[in-house]
């Protein structure tokens, strides 16, 4: 078989033959993917050569007929335009970068996050975006101090209305605490603390976020003392020492309905 440039024949453990395509650019060896046929692998290599030599290809020009994956397409165009190789589909702009989840879905991030997302691939499950970090699924919102299961519009919001823009200046945290929501009564802010057992139970309404957050923690402790085994997250109250925390903890009241809650044996 005539050798195709940039294509290498290899075998699976079961003996089946497949073809790997790769290219070397400025001393950087880049894998282009694995293919079932040599002509597909060759087409991927030829496309990669054209991308790196010419400026005619843009990210929006991608077609599956080029044989390259979309991720590799972005990687090569960024390498050509910006001279930097990333293994993930990142394209550098002047003061930020774009991470392409796919051709239609893309996210904007500050350059401060560049090397994190260069090493951590974004995945999506159940509407949540996460990365794998030390074997754990980490919601990308946690980098902004946003809690798991936070509700957009209630707990945080995108300042410019673009929910794909994850630059720090575009994300405003409305509510930093678990189980706490803000409302207004007679023009004054009130903070309602709730906890989910079999449905939501109101813990109480308070005049400050800190009181509501501590009341939530107190409710968690109450349920644990009653034998409830659910692993509730707890609030960390920044700026309070142990004495001040204890004073508020002992002062806040929680609803009688919750205090009287009984766990029935299964």
Last residue of a domain, one of 174, 206, 240: 174
CA atoms in the 13 A half-sphere facing the CB of 199: 4
User: Mean pLDDT: which of 15-19, 119-123, 141-145, 262-266 is highest?
Assistant: 119-123
Q: Are residues 30 and 90 in the same domain?
A: no
CA proximity to 189, closest of 178, 203, 174, 200: 174
Last residue of a domain, one of 174, 199, 228: 174
Last residue of a domain, one of 174, 206, 233: 174
CA proximity to 251, closest of 207, 192, 188: 207
What pLDDT, on the 0 to 100 scale, is given for residue 64? 87
Q: State pLDDT tens for residues 210-247.
A: 999 999 999 999 999 999 988 998 999 988 999 999 99
Q: State pLDDT tens for residues 189-214.
A: 999 999 999 889 999 999 999 999 99
Number of domains the chain is built from: 3
Interval 159-174 mean pLDDT:
96
Which 8-state DSSP code applies to residue 113?
Answer: G
Q: Is residue 197 part of a domain?
A: yes
- pLDDT score of 266 more than 60: no
Mean pLDDT, the chain, whole residue set: 92
- pLDDT score of 106 more than 80: yes
Q: Are residues 50 and 2 in the same domain?
A: yes
The H helix count followed by the E strand count for the chain is 6, 14
């Amino acid at each position: 078989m005539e050798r195709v440039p940039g294509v290498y024949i290899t075998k699976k453990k079961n003996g089946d033959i497949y073809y790997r395509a790769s290219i070397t650019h400025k001393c950087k060896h880049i894998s282009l993917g694995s293919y079932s046929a040599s002509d597909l692998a060759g087409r991927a290599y030829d496309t990669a050569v054209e991308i790196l030599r010419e400026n005619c290809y843009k990210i929006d020009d991608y077609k599956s007929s080029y044989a390259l994956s979309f991720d590799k397409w972005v990687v090569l165009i960024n390498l050509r335009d910006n001279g930097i190789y990333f293994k993930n589909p990142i394209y550098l702009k002047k003061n930020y970068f774009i991470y392409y989840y796919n051709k239609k879905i893309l996210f904007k991030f500050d350059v401060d996050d560049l090397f994190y997302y260069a090493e951590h691939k974004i995945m999506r499950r159940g509407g949540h975006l996460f990365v794998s970090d030390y074997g754990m699924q980490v919601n990308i919102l946690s980098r902004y101090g946003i809690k798991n299961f936070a509700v957009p519009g209630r707990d945080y919001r995108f300042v410019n209305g673009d929910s794909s823009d994850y630059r720090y200046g575009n994300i405003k945290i409305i509510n930093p605490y678990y189980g706490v929501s803000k409302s207004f009564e007679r023009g004054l802010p009130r903070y309602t603390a709730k906890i989910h057992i079999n449905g939501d139970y109101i813990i109480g309404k308070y005049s400050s976020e800190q009181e509501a957050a501590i009341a939530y923690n107190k409710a968690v402790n109450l349920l644990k003392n009653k034998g409830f085994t659910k692993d509730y997250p707890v609030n960390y109250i920044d700026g309070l020492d142990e004495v001040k925390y204890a004073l508020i903890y002992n002062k806040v009241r929680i609803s009688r309905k919750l205090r009287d809650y009984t766990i029935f044996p299964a």
